[in-house]
Amino acid sequence: MNTRQPRQPKYRRHKPSGQALVEIGGDVTYLGPYNSTASKEEYDRLIVQWLANGRKALTPAEDLTVLALTVEYTRFADGYYVNHGRQTREAGLIRESLRVLNRLYAPTPACEFGPKGLKAVRQAFIDDGYCRRGRHLMSWFRVSLTAEEQRVVDEERTSHPNERIRERMLMLWLLHNGLTRQKAAEIVGVGRATVQRYVAAYREGGLDGLRRWDPNRPVSEMAAYCDLIRESFEKQPACTIAEACDRIFQLTGLKRGPSQVRKFLKDLGLKWQRIRAIPVPPKKLGRARRNPNRVSRIPIETMLG
C-alpha cells in the first residue's frame, strides 16, 4: 500500500516572463514578479488552501450550473456598471450576451463548460446576426431587409406624414445599403446612440416597432382647436405674431405667448408669407414740384411791376 503523500508544489520562476508560478493539480497559477513579497504571499496562501484540502487541488462546486453563475454575474453587472445613478449600456449588452449562453448551456454544470462550448456560443452569436466590432462586443445587428420591407421603407422614408418616422426609415434604408452606424447618424442628423435605439426597435418589433411613436410630452390645449385655427388663418393670414396671438385668443379664449403661438402655427404647417410692395408707375409731377428749391429767373423789375 502506497502511503506516500504528494510533494508540496514548489515556488518556481517562469524564465520568458520573469513571473513566479506554482503548479497545483496540473493548473499553473502566476503569482507576480519572481522573488517579490506579493508573489511569495500569494504562494503561501495557495499552499495553505492546498494543505487544508488534504493536499488536493481545489475543485469548483459541481452543483453550480451555468444558469446560476450567469444570474450571479448579472446581479454584479447591474450594480457595477452605473454612472451618475443610472445604469450604463454595458449591463444591457452583458445581459443580452448571457441570454444566448443560457439558451444553449443553462443546465450544464459550470465546471464542464469548456472551449468547445465557447465555440458553440460564438457560432450562435454569428447565426443570430451579431458580430464583434470595437469595444462593443457582439452588440451589432446586421440590417437586411426583405424585398417587401425594402419597398415599404423606400416609400415611407419620403412620404410618411410623421417626420420622425421618415427619419427612422431613412436611417434603416442607409444601414440596409451598407453604411456604418456612424455615417448613417451623420447623414440623418442624429447621434449614434439614437441610431442604436432605432436598430433595437426594429430588431424587437420590425417595421411596426420602428413606427411606434409615443412622445412623452404634454399636449397643448390649442390642439383641440386645430381645425378652427387653421381655417381662420388660411382665410385671413396674420401680418405679425402679435396679431396671431390676439386672433387665437379671440377664437379659443386661450392666451399664449409669441413663442408658443409661433411653434404651434409651425406644427400646423402654416408658413409666414413674404410680403412685398406692389410696383406702381411714378406720378408725373409739374415743373415746380419736380424742383421746388429752384430759384426763379424772372427779372426783379418784372416782379415789382
The segments of the chain whose pLDDT lies below 50 read 1, 132-139, 300, 302-305
Determine the longest span between alpha carbons in the chain, in angstroms.
164
- Whether 98 is covered by a domain: the verdict is yes
Residue 99: inside a domain, yes or no? yes
Question: Cβ distance 39 to 20 under 8 Å?
Answer: yes
Torsion from C-alpha of 245, 250, 255, 260, nearest 10 degrees:
-40
How high is the pLDDT of residue 212? 82
Q: Is 173 helix (H, G, I), strand (E, B) or coil?
A: helix
Residue 18 covered by a domain: yes
Residues 47 and 101 in one domain: no
pLDDT of residue 125: 76
Residue 117 forms part of a structural domain: yes
Residue 298: CA count within 13 A, CB half-sphere: 6
The predicted structure's pLDDT at residue 299: 53
Whether residue 205 sits in one domain with residue 151: yes
The reply to whether 42 falls in a domain is yes
pLDDT digits (tens, 9 = 90+) for 128-156: 666 544 334 434 567 878 888 889 999 98
Residue range 86-98, pLDDT digits in tens: 777 777 788 888 8
168 and 152 Cβ atoms separated by less than 8 Å: no
Q: Check residue 137 and give its pLDDT.
A: 41
Stretch (H or E) spanning 83: strand 82-83
Domain that holds residue 25: 12-52
277 belongs to a structural domain: no
Q: How many domains does the chain have?
A: 4
Based on the domain organization, do 260 and 236 belong to the same domain? Answer: yes
* Residue 52, pLDDT score: 74
Structural domain contains residue 1: no
195 Cβ partners below 8 Å, 6+ apart? 171, 175, 181, 184, 185, 188
Instruction: Please check whether residues 72 and 47 belong to one and the same domain.
Output: no
Residue 92 and residue 43 share a domain = no
C-alpha atoms less than 13 angstroms from C-alpha of 72 in its C-beta half-sphere: 6
Q: Is residue 292 part of a domain?
A: no
